[in-house]
Structure 1
Amino acid sequence: MNRNDARKIAETITNEQLQQMFETAKAKITDWTKVSNVNKGLTKGVSWNILAKDFDVNSNHHILAKTNMVREFGEFLPDEIKPQKKVRQFQPPTHQDPQF
């Protein structure tokens, strides 16, 4: 997920929805050694330890922390929260036969 989409989601997401996202991620991630989306020098396991290990539903989290949480584990959000995929429709290119 890109930073702009993650920021928009982070502005409106609740702590309960973040907790649900973390529970789904914990159950579905099989390879914790993959490179992190937020910081390429870390793995998903290290990102988990930083962002989700001590997550408190009753605490108020900074918008940047929420943005990073959504960027890293946003693929595990419910479909109604995820941003809609933009379908680009391309017009065929203009063509003329060469004139010799």
Structure 2
Amino acid sequence: MKLTISDAVWLDDDGTCTAAHLAAVSGLSSDELGELIDIGLVNPVDPDVTPLAFRLSHIVTVIEARRLRDDFELDRNGMALALTLLRRIDELQVELGALRALQNPAQPAT
């Protein structure tokens, strides 16, 4: 049995990283990452500070963007659109669950 030791990072909203780090861990180019920043899917902690710092939770977003790009052979615009639509679907599902919970308070939401 082989034991592998690795480092783990808690991807919360307290820690920050640079745009270069986001690009490195995701496999996105700086142009692709810039597109996600421009449309607001990846927001810097303080846009007035250079270099830009991003919350560690954005690592999940940029990895998902790269997977969409690779799996569906999308260009930058297609990748950004797909990610935007998936985020909106998630928001609507949460909203629908909350509305269902208000209508049927005795039944647990699924």
Query: Structure 2 length normalisation: TM-score?
Result: 0.28
Higher RCO, 1 vs 2 (CA within 8 Å, ≥6 residues apart): 1
Query: Structure 1 length normalisation: TM-score?
Result: 0.29
Q: Which has the larger radius of gyration?
A: 1
